[in-house]
Amino acid sequence: MIQLQHEHTREVVRDARGVTMGVIERQQFVGRLIARDARGIVVGVYDERSRTTRDAHGRIVGRTNLLPALLFQRR
């Protein structure tokens, strides 16, 4: 179960125990979402225009928003 908590342009992603896995930040004007782990390190970027998710190294990992999956992968 993923619990999202909205804070304006940030969503806090928590696991089933309530532990913060990271945050997803929306850059509204450029149409991107950025996922950061609990330490603030960027783990991936989703581009809404091209509908692609890239990992921290810039590699395409999917054609949909997979940012929550990238946060949980870093456990």
Domains and CATH numbers, the chain: 3-73 (2.40.160.200)
pLDDT of the residue at 58: 96
pLDDT of residue 7: 47
| Structure confidence by residue, pLDDT tens digits, 11-40 | 999 999 999 999 999 988 889 999 999 999
Separation of alpha carbons 15 and 23, rounded Å: 12
How many Å apart are CA 63 and CA 4, to the nearest integer?
22
Residues 6+ apart with CB under 8 A from 11: 4, 5, 23, 24, 26
The pLDDT of residue 75: 60
Name 44's Cβ contacts closer than 8 Å, sequence gap at least 6: 34, 35, 53, 54, 55, 56, 61, 66, 67, 70
Q: For residue 25, what pLDDT is reported?
A: 96
pLDDT digits (tens, 9 = 90+) for 47-69: 999 999 999 999 999 999 999 99
